[in-house]
Structure 1
Amino acid sequence: MSAKGKSVTELSAPPIDWRENAKDLSAGAAGGVAQVLIDIVKVRLQTQTRGSALSAARKIWAKEGPAAFYKGTLVPLLGVGACVSIQFGAFHSFRQLLESYNDQEYPTQDRSLSLSQFYLAGGAAGLTNSVISGPVEHLRIRLQAQPHGAGRLYAGPWDCARKIMGLAGPAGLYRGQVVTLLREFHGYGVWFAAYEGLLAVLQEKTQKKREELPSWQVAICGGLAGEALWLLSHPLDVIKSKMQSDGFGSDQKYRTMRHALQLTWTTSGIRGLFQGLGPALLRAMPVSAGTFVT
């Protein structure tokens, strides 16, 4: 993870520091728990409930109680920290590959990455991360979307994973993986490119080196990058949530990503592809800001 007040592109790639990785895991897990309170509202809006985020939150509170907002907490605790470490570790590796390419192709120029190369490195990091994020988010979404009370389908994440594999085999854990790959590549490409672009603009405006920028300015750049991520990748997230909360066998509604997109467009139009955007944006600013400043 980037050092405080310093661009991720300015960090070298030292040997694995297990203490730093542990820090990334802890910070990521804490961030995952903090996200759950808002994330369940986003998932319900994407898969079940019509109306505003506030009305959805009120329904969850009235029908299921305050504990319902913590559904799926264990999954982020176990998976999100690892995802954060993988994202940044993979990003550094792909950044170095692109810097080496720049050195070889343009030896007389600055080896720094262009915004399109930042997008490519971030997207490649997202693809790497999707190996874990796909099944982790699948379990989280099923736990958050399941009925309450007597209609409850899963006792917890392990029970959820066991039942999915019983119905669809191990591959069932990766349902919606194609749209997950698209969302991770595009979303994290935008995330890293937006962060680096905003820092570059800020550095030019203030005539300061990156390490001289105050933490609050770095946090704002990170927060705005998070907003850009969700604004530009939310339709993919909606389709992913619909597919990962869908039934199995005769109860399956969406056959493919394209089918899910067609049905969503037919029934709800463009608005249907942005259901739950409000909670996503509300969550993105503090979580993304904290990630880059940590």
Structure 2
Amino acid sequence: MSQQGEPQNNDGAMRAVKDCVAGSAGGIMQVLVGQPFDTVKVRMQTQPDLYKGTMDAVRKTIQNDGFGGFYKGTTTPLVGVGLCVSIQFLVMEHMKRTFGRINGTPANQAPVLTPSQLYMAGAAAGLANSVVSGPVEHIRVRLQVQSSGAAAEYKGPIDCIKKIYKGFGWSGIYRGHVATLIREFHGYGMYFLAYEALVQRTMASTGKARSELSTALVCLYGTAAGFAMWTTSYPIDAIKSKLQTDGFAGEKRKYYGALDCARKIMRQEGLKGFFRGITPCLLRAAPANGATFVGFEIAMRYLG
């Protein structure tokens, strides 16, 4: 990937490799920083009767599972999120270059895209990402909410995948995928729109190249991107989490699709049910997404 404000003269295949490697660095940073917040968020979304609030969820997680409870299911996202973020940045950078050609941007200049183009580029990245993020998040949330010790239904991510696939095939692995697609499309549209728009504005006003932006600014803009994503897509994420932790059949199954889930949340919990767990989610948005973009941008600077 060539930095904005610098010539785009790298070979296409090598540029894609660099985008993937840098995206993996960002993904690993995101998981290590954000996993404890995500565990609390998922538990509050899917087990509303167990927790009175964020701090109650934190206390009970420590009490029942120790500090290791915050990192339940981390193996899956470390591998999966690294791949997901690689896909996100690979597709995003490709779409930026594509829109640049549509806009008639000279080959030796980085494209400056309109807000709608940035949104669609991010949405495309989200859709591509959903192929991996759907099953990765499904396995992660099931591991996050299960009991510890002998009462645990799954021994780990591989055991979880095997049991779900044996019982329900690919449809079981991709449980809640319609909700995932909607969240990824709009969420990442807003995510990359916020980040790239802030970067473009700063570069235009200061005359600096992308590689010259300070780490503090990158972190700040990554935080803004996280807030833009989650404040606009959280309700569909709540639906996704409930579908992905629901029983598969019989009396254990509560929901029969995203619309049925939405209706039952509204009837049983009201509007607040769509926003349960948003506090740890937004607390996570700052460090996790700041770390994601810092990891990506720093990796790209070293990769050249």
What is the TM-score normalised by the length of structure 2? 0.86
Change (3 A) 1:9 1:51: farther
Aligned partner of 2:302 in structure 1 is none
Report if aligned partners of 2:195, 2:225 keep a CA contact under 8 Å in 1.
yes
Cα distance in 2 for partners of 1:159, 1:129 equals 24
Partner deviation per Cα, 1:136-192 (whole Å, 9 max, x = no partner): 000000000112333211011111111111221122100110010000011110011
**Is the contact between residue 223 and residue 285 of structure 2 (CA under 8 Å) also seen in structure 1?**
yes
Structure 1 residues 100 and 208, CA gap change in structure 2 (3 angstroms): closer
SS at structure 2 position matched to 1:236: helix
Corresponding residue for residue 276 of structure 2: 275
Instruction: Decide whether aligned partners of structure 1 residues 286 and 249 sit closer, same or farther in structure 2, where only a CA change above 3 A counts.
Output: same
Q: Against the structure 1 CA distance between its residues 92 and 19, is the aligned structure 2 distance closer, same or farther, given a 3 Å change threshold?
A: closer
Aligned pairs for 1:203-242 (under 5 A) are 203=203, 206=206, 208=208, 210-242=210-242
**Distance in structure 2 (CA, Å) of the matches to 1:42 and 1:271:** 14
**1:59-208 superposed matches below 5 A:** 59-103=60-104, 112-203=112-203, 206=206, 208=208
Partner of 1:56: 57
CA–CA separation in structure 1 for the residues paired with 2:92 and 2:126: 8
Matched, 1:291 2:288: no
**Structure 2: runs of 5+ lacking an equivalent:** 296-304
Give, in whole Å, the separation in 1 of the partners of 2:6 and 2:126.
16
- Please tell me whether the aligned partners of residues 20 and 90 of structure 2 are also in contact (alpha carbons under 8 angstroms): no
> Relative to structure 1, is the Cα distance of residues 215 and 69 closer, same or farther in structure 2, using a 3 angstrom cutoff?
closer
Deviation of the 1:16 alpha carbon: 3.1
Q: Do the aligned partners of residues 20 and 229 (structure 1) sit closer, same or farther apart at CA in structure 2, a change above 3 Å counting?
A: closer
Matched residue pairs, number? 286
**Counterpart residue identity of residue 53, structure 2:** S
AA at the equivalent of 2:44: L
Q: CA deviation at 1:78?
A: 1.3
Equivalent residues of 1:191, 1:229 under 8 A apart: yes
1:169 partner SS: helix
**In 1, Cα distance between equivalents of 2:76 and 2:5:** 27
Alpha-carbon distance between aligned partners in 1 of 2:144 and 2:21, rounded to the nearest angstrom: 28
In structure 2, C-alpha distance between the alignment counterparts of 1:45 and 1:164, rounded to whole Å? 23
Contact 1:9–1:95, Cα closer than 8 Å, also in 2: no
Separation in structure 2 between the aligned mates of residue 219 and residue 90 of structure 1, nearest angstrom: 21
In structure 1, what is the Cα distance between the partners aligned to 2:6 and 2:274? 33
Unaligned runs of 5+ in 1: 105-109
Percent identical among aligned pairs is 42
**Aligned residue identity for 1:31:** Q
Q: Which amino acid aligns with 2:227?
A: E
Tell me which moved more, 158-167 or 113-122: 158-167
Report the Cα distance in structure 1 between the residues aligned to 2:280 and 2:6, rounded to whole angstroms: 30
How far apart in 2 are the matches of 1:249 and 1:101? Answer: 49
Q: CA deviation at 1:51?
A: 2.1
- In structure 2, the CA distance between the partners of 1:96 and 1:201, relative to structure 1 (3 Å rule), is closer
Distance, in Å, in 2 between the alignment partners of 1:10 and 1:76 is 35
Distance 1:186 1:27 in 2: 21
Distance 1:8 1:142 in 2: 44
Task: Give the residue type in structure 1 aligned to 2:94.
Answer: S
| Residue aligned with 1:16, SS | helix
User: What's the CA shift for 1:30?
Assistant: 3.9
Q: 1:15 aligns with which of 2, 12, 32?
A: 12
What's the secondary structure of 1:254's corresponding residue?
coil
Shift of 1:286: 1.6
Q: 2:5·2:210 contact (CA, 8 Å) conserved in 1? A: no
Point out the more displaced range, 149-158 or 256-265.
Answer: 149-158
Q: CA deviation at 1:214?
A: 2.4
CA offsets 1:36-62 (integer angstroms, 9 cap, x no match): 222110100000034211110101111
Could you tell me the TM-score, scaled by structure 1's length? 0.88
3-state DSSP of counterpart to 2:270: helix
Cα distance change of structure 1 residues 128 and 19 upon mapping to structure 2, 3 Å threshold:
closer
Asked if the contact 1:247/1:253 (under 8 Å) is kept, the reply is: yes
